[in-house]
Amino acid sequence: MGSLLFQLFALLTVTAAVGVVANRNAVNAAMCLLLCLVGVAGLFVQLDAYLLAFLLLLVYAGAIVALFLFIIMLLDVPGRSAWNLRKLPTLAGLVAFALLLAGLGSLVARGQLRAPNPNATEGVGAALKPYAYQLFTTYLLPVQVMGFLLLVAMLGVIVLSRKVDGPEDAK
């Protein structure tokens, strides 16, 4: 079951990462980034690193991607049209992909690319417990104040970037 979940989260992460790079619409690319971060958080949970998964979802998926979406929507970035493929960059990309496949093939052929023994490694999540305790006890107020300041800054950007159509009444 664990191997199946790992493969599903890895597939989700890789597919969403390709979606970030290949997407022409900036909003769709940001949403693919959000899916990619959720996949990475799932991989962290598989490694028993629950704090890292929670912080990744809280900080990156919750704050950074939301900030990206606000900026993209405020700037009103139009999506680009169809792919403009030229011969030389396309050929260079295909050669680089072929070299990557050749390198991976040589690693597999020599037997140097094998999975580690899961029983030989110790859990990563246990060492993060003191950090989690400090974050949610001693440093809880500064983290909350910083979140409030970021919210005020985001609201300030929204107010300052709003478009005014006609003259305003000055009182």
Q: Are 18 and 35 in contact (CB under 8 A)?
A: no
Sign of CA dihedral 14, 55, 70, 72: negative
Would you say 67 and 26 are in contact if contact means Cβ atoms under 8 Å apart? no
Structural tokens at position 46: 């598989």
The fold of 2-80+122-161 is: Four Helix Bundle (Hemerythrin (Met), subunit A) (1.20.120)
pLDDT band at 87 (very low <50, low <70, confident <90, very high): confident
Share of the chain above pLDDT 70, in %: 78
Look up residue 47 and give its amino acid: L
Instruction: Tell me the range of 23-32, 38-47, 56-65, 102-111 where mean pLDDT is highest.
Output: 38-47
Q: What sign results for the dihedral spanned by CA atoms 35, 37, 40, 45?
A: negative
1-55 pLDDT tens trace? 668 888 899 999 999 999 888 888 888 888 898 999 999 999 998 888 888 888 8
Does residue 106 register a pLDDT over 90? no
Residue type, 73: M
Place of tokens 């979606």: 19
Query: Domain map of the chain by residue range?
Result: 2-80+122-161, 88-121
Q: What pLDDT is attached to residue 134?
A: 83
* Residues contacting residue 129 through CB under 8 Å, at least 6 positions apart: 51
